[in-house]
Structure 1
C-alpha cells in the first residue's frame, strides 16, 4: 500500500502541474496546440504523410502556438509595467493590494471572506472608474467635497437649491452639520472676495425661507427666487459650480434628502450643471 501511495504522488503532482499549465496558458495557444495534435494524428491515420512528417507538422504547430502564448504573456507583462509606471504610492501599493485580495480569495475560498473580498474589489473597481472620469462619489452624510471645494474657490460660486415640502422639513439641511459647515465656508469665501450667486427653487415663500434669504443676502450672497413650476422639473437640481472648473450635484431620496454627493471636475459635468443654472437664472427673480 505504501508503494502504491508513493507511485500515486508523482501522478498527482503531474496532474496538478497540467491544471496549472492549462489555467495560465492563453486560450488561443491552447486551441492551437489541440489543433496541432489533431492535425498530426489525422495525417498519420489517413496516411496523408509519413509518421515522421505528421510528427514534425504537429510539433511545428505546437511550437507556433507556444510562441503565440509567449508573446501574449509578454504583452500582458508590458501592459502591467505600463500601468504601474505612475506615482510612487501606486507602484508601491498595487502589488500589495492585489496580493491581499488574491490571498483572501484563495486561502478562504468558499467562505464569506472570499465573497466579501470579491465584492469589495468590484466596488473599488467601480469607484476607480469614476475617479478616472474625474468624479468623486460620497454618501449623503459626507459633505467633505462640498465644503472643501467652497474653501478652495477663488473667484465665483453659483448654486441652485431646491426648497420643497418634504418629510424632513423645509430647510432642515441648512441647520444640519453639513449645512452649517457649508455656510461657514460660504461666509469665508465671501470674505476672500468670491462672488456667490444662489437661486432657491421654492413651492411656497415661507417665513423660514424669507429669513434664510435675508441672512444670505446680508452676508453678501446674490440671491434669486424661482417659484416651482416656472421651469421644467428636469432643472430641479441641487447643484454648485465653482470657478467654472468643478461642480457638485446631489442625488436625492423620495423624501427630498441627499443620498449621494457627486463632485466632479469632468468638463461635460461642469458644462451641464452650469447650463442648468443659467436657465434657472434667466427665469429667477433676484432680491437685489
Structure 2
C-alpha cells in the first residue's frame, strides 16, 4: 500500500499537493470578501451611505407593498446610480487635486509617485513589523521637514553647520552676528575653538576680503583675557566688534544669531548647559525681522571701539 502511494506521489511530482490546493481554494473563496473590503476602502463614504439607503429603501418598499416589485427595484437602482455618480465625481475631484499638486518642477513630478509607491509597498508587504513602522516614521519626518521648507526654514542638528558656513560664503554686503558667551560646562569660548568655530571664522575672513561689512556683538559674563584676545583678533581682521555685559539685557535676548544681507538668518537653539542642539537657517521674513530686532537692541547698548 505505501509503495503504491509512493509511486503515485512520484507520478504527480511537480503538481500542487492537496494542502496547496486546499489553501488556494480557501484563498479563492475569500477573494470576494477581500474585494468588498478594498471597494469599501476606496469608495467615498457619502456614496456608501447612499448605496446602503437605496438598498434599504428598495427592500422597505417591497416588504410594505408601498410599490410593486419592479418599482421597488427601479427605486433602488436609481438611488445606487446616483450614489455611484457622486462617488465618480468625488474621485475625479481628488484626481484633479493630485494633478494640480504635481504641477511643479520636473524632479517633483517624477519622484513623487516613486516615493509614495515605495512607502506604500513597505507598509503593505511588511505589515505589523519594524519595517512598516519605520516607513511611517520616516514619512512623517519627511512631511515635517517639507512643511519647514515650505515656511522657508532649514533645521539641522547642533553639529551640522553647513548652512551657517555656506550662507557666510554667499554673503555679498553685510553680516551681523550676536554671540552669547554665557557660562557653560565646556567653557565660554569653546564654540570658537571648535572645528565649526574655526571654519566659520575662515568664512568670515574670506567675506571681509570680498568687502563684506561684519558687525559682531559679544554678550559676556566675564571679560577674561581669552575673550579680550578673541575680540582684538577679530577687530584687527576688520570686524566691528561690540561688547555687552550679560546683565545689561533681557533674558529673551540671549540668542546666538547671524544675519546675512538682511535677507536670511541663522539661529542656534541651546540646551540647558549652553550647548547648541539645533541650527535653524531661515529666509522667512518674520524670522529675519525678529532676529534683526534682537540684534539691533543688543547693538544699541553695546560698547564699540570705532
Q: Compute the TM-score of the two structures, normalised by the length of structure 1.
A: 0.95
Q: Secondary structure at the match of 2:247?
A: coil
Alignment partner, residue 260 of structure 2: 242
State the 4+ residue runs in structure 1 displaced beyond 4 angstroms: 1-10
Q: Quickly say closer, same or farther: Cα 1:4–1:98, change in 2 above 3 A.
A: closer
CA deviations 1:131-160 (Å, max 9, x no partner) are: 011100101100000000000000111111
Q: Quickly say closer, same or farther: Cα 1:218–1:72, change in 2 above 3 A.
A: same
Is there any run of 5+ residues in structure 2 with no aligned partner, and where? 1-17
Matched pairs, number = 288
Q: What is the rounded CA distance, in whole Å, between the counterparts of 2:24 and 2:151 in structure 1?
A: 58
Q: Say if 2:80 is the partner of 1:47.
A: no
Q: Secondary structure at the match of 2:122?
A: helix
CA deviations 1:178-226 (Å, max 9, x no partner) are: 1111111111111111111111111111111111111111111111111
Q: Which moved more, 1:179-188 or 1:89-98?
A: 89-98
> Bigger radius of gyration, 1 or 2?
2
Alignment partner, residue 26 of structure 1: 44
Q: Quickly say closer, same or farther: Cα 1:238–1:7, change in 2 above 3 A.
A: closer
Paired residue for 1:13, among 31, 51, 55? 31
Q: What is the rounded CA distance, in whole Å, between the counterparts of 2:252 and 2:269 in structure 1?
A: 13
Q: Which moved more, 1:130-139 or 1:31-40?
A: 31-40
Alignment partner, residue 201 of structure 1: 219
Paired residue for 1:165, among 161, 164, 183? 183
Alignment partner, residue 13 of structure 2: none
Q: Quickly say closer, same or farther: Cα 1:41–1:191, change in 2 above 3 A.
A: same
1:45 Cα deviation (Å)? 2.4
1:11 Cα deviation (Å)? 3.5
Q: Say if 2:147 is the partner of 1:129.
A: yes
Q: Which moved more, 1:123-132 or 1:277-286?
A: 277-286
Q: Say if 2:274 is the partner of 1:280.
A: no
Q: What is the rounded CA distance, in whole Å, between the counterparts of 2:105 and 2:27 in structure 1?
A: 47
Matches within 5 A, 1:1-288: 10-288=28-306
Q: Which moved more, 1:233-242 or 1:10-19?
A: 10-19
Q: Quickly say closer, same or farther: Cα 1:88–1:278, change in 2 above 3 A.
A: same
Q: Compute the TM-score of the two structures, normalised by the length of structure 2.
A: 0.90
Q: Quickly say closer, same or farther: Cα 1:59–1:4, change in 2 above 3 A.
A: farther
Is there any run of 5+ residues in structure 1 with no aligned partner, and where? none
CA deviations 1:17-52 (Å, max 9, x no partner) are: 111111111112111111221222222223333322
Q: Secondary structure at the match of 2:179?
A: strand
1:54 Cα deviation (Å)? 2.2
Q: What is the rounded CA distance, in whole Å, between the counterparts of 1:136 and 1:219 in structure 2?
A: 30
Q: What is the rounded CA distance, in whole Å, between the counterparts of 1:257 and 1:7 in structure 2?
A: 64
